[in-house]
Amino acid sequence: MSKKKVEFDPSEGTFYERVFCPDRFEVKVLNPPEPVKVGAGQDLSNVKAKAKKPELQLTLTDKNKHKFVVEGKRLVSRVLQYMQPSTGMSMDELRDLDENPTKLEKALTDAAKKSKRELKMYFDDAGVLQGVASTMHTQISWSKIRNVVETSVKKAFGKVVKPQTPSQLSNRWTYSTPIQDENVSAHITVDAGNNIIKGRSGIRVYSRFRTEAKGPGGAPACLNWCGMWQVPLQVFGLNCERLPGSQAKDVRDLSMMEIHLTSTVDNFAQVEKELEAKMTKLAKAAKTTFLPLIKESRKVKLDKKEMQAILDAYATRVILPKYIIKQILDSVEENTVWGFSQAISWVRTHGQLDERRAQLPREERSITKTLENISGEVISIVPTIIKLKKLLKNNVITKQALTKPQQIPELKPMLVKVR
């Protein structure tokens, strides 16, 4: 029986595919690096590290003279990864040939003739190459994954309840858990990933929380979102404090889980089992760990200067524009950690974003994901904030305390030890 042909369907996340066995490689440098001037006494290794890496174009030709052109850092890197084992070189050694296309051509061509390695090439409806994978890689439609996910949700929670979310993405679904208090409701979001090995692969499951408290005068809740992809072990070089007692053991269950799907997954029973177990643990952890943290966060005071300091510290680690920081500070309605988190999540969902450079819908933009994660993280580190304020002069958090804690003697007990 012949295998069913895969069709391009953006709503299902599938692409046209073709198996290709390269026999020869041609390498072209698209942006040759400019000569770097080295001053007297200057460290050559530092100059090389700062130099812009050349962008490569690979032309793959098979024995029948068919050709494919591969461009872009992600796709070129995938091809190099698949060919590297047959080159007799390490990946670092192979990448060091970026500036020597002749040697790289020979290394790749020799590897192709030796290994006869077949690659899967994934194309969109315009014939543009979108992904490169091994022949072991199998595309799985988002509707098939969703069926598996919702079977797991029903087993874990008794029914499938989806909240109204701002996201209409075909590969991301959010489900309500049975947990809800007067301030927030807890949810599970499942991201089905993509079929072209772009970014993270596999099914990702993580916890999210939504504001349910009504505003002044009984106004409807803003339905702000904060998320928990990872529970931090440290933040800004400081060890994170945890909730005391039995609550602490559940905190790890708030972290994201990723399930990698392979071509061997014909029966999704094991995937369903893993998803059900993770969802059950996430819901329990939300009740025993995150909800108590939210209640505690309303007792911990933060003034606007401290909020500014925390945001400025985050801006040294992630892209957090000044106009976003200003919107957050202008949106604060309660000078507590809770109020701070709410202001961040409000801007994440309702704030004005710079549309001049926007290439993606709001829910897919990196700034949206960054704000959602910061909003959840500041709640998760409430015990750390409490301890930090007690140790600091005047009980006030400063940017220096977060970006250069090693310079403040009082913070020595909290410093992460460098191994």
* Predicted pLDDT of residue 217: 58
pLDDT above 50 (res 29) = yes
Whether the pLDDT of residue 47 is over 50: the answer is no
Mean pLDDT of 384-408: 93
The answer on pLDDT for 263 being more than 50 is no
In the prediction, which pLDDT does 361 show? 79
**What pLDDT does 257 receive?**
84
Look up tokens 């998803």; give the residue.
275
Give the tens place of pLDDT for each residue, 76-89.
Answer: 999 999 999 999 99
Spans of all domains in the chain: 16-134, 142-290, 304-414
Give tens-digit pLDDT for 292-313: 888 899 999 999 999 999 999 9
What is the C-alpha to C-alpha distance for residues 154 and 165, in angstroms, rounded to an integer? 19
Classify residue 60 as left (phi > 0), alpha (psi -120 to 50) or beta.
beta
pLDDT at 131: 94
DSSP 216: G
Number of H helices, E strands in the chain: 13, 13
Separation of alpha carbons 406 and 159, rounded Å: 50
d(Cα 79, Cα 131) in Å, to the nearest integer?
10
With contact defined as beta carbons under 8 Å apart, do 351 and 331 qualify? yes
The answer, yes or no, to whether residue 359 has pLDDT greater than 50, is yes
- Using alpha carbons, select from 108, 19, 15, 132 the residue that is nearest to residue 66: 19
pLDDT value of position 264: 44
Q: What is the pLDDT of residue 321?
A: 94
222-231, 315-324, 340-349, 402-411: least confident range: 222-231
Band of pLDDT at residue 220, cut at 50, 70 and 90: low
Share of the chain above pLDDT 70, in %: 85
pLDDT over 90 percentage in the chain: 50
**Least confident segment among 44-53, 157-166, 204-213, 401-410:** 44-53
pLDDT digits (tens, 9 = 90+) for 130-154: 999 999 888 889 998 999 999 999 9
Q: Are 54 and 31 in contact (CB under 8 A)?
A: yes
* More confident of the two residues 25 and 248: 25
What does the pLDDT average to over 282-295?
Answer: 87
Q: pLDDT-based confidence at 33, cuts 50/70/90? A: low
Q: What is the mean pLDDT of the chain?
A: 85
Digit-coded pLDDT (tens) for 94-107:
988 888 899 999 99
How many whole angstroms separate alpha carbon 252 and alpha carbon 117?
Answer: 41
Q: What is residue 1's predicted lDDT score, i.e. its pLDDT?
A: 39
